[in-house]
Amino acid sequence: NVPVVLAALLAARHGVPADRRTGHAPRLDVTGALLVTAGATLLVLGLVRTETHGWTSGTTLGTLAAAAVLLAAFVAVEARKREPLLRLGLLGPAHRPVLSANVFALLMSSGQFAAFYFTSLHLQQV
């Protein structure tokens, strides 16, 4: 693996153009990062807990509603930021290949992680 890494580093050094600084360092979007992290965490928590609480329980619905509010707030905040965490224009019709690639990656990784999860559950039962 070491020769492959060295070859990749050499190729990158000669093939990737130098970074041109614009005069200021990019700012970290802490608000957006906190909103999307909290929203995604609550979304996963709400989905995982449906087995114990059920889909119609107040806990599940409240968790999923809070996730929806936080993720909507993330979109609203990112739309107004000067240096957003995610440029929402990348997901618009002008960049349809980017949107398609992201949807495809989401579906593929969801299927892969679901397979890992259900395989581990199955192996615990056998």
Q: Distance between CA atoms of 94 and 117, rounded to whole angstroms?
A: 36
- Claim: this prediction has a pTM higher than 0.75: no
Using a 10 angstrom Cβ sphere, with 0-12 exposed, 13-18 middle and 19 or more buried, the burial of residue 5 is: exposed
pLDDT score for 22: 66
Q: What is the pLDDT of residues 54-65, one digit of tens each?
A: 999 999 999 999
Give ∠ CA 18-22-28 in degrees, rounded to 5. Answer: 100
Using a 10 angstrom Cβ sphere, with 0-12 exposed, 13-18 middle and 19 or more buried, the burial of residue 63 is: buried
Q: Distance between CA atoms of 101 and 85, rounded to whole angstroms?
A: 18
Q: In the chain, pLDDT over 90 holds for what percent of residues?
A: 65
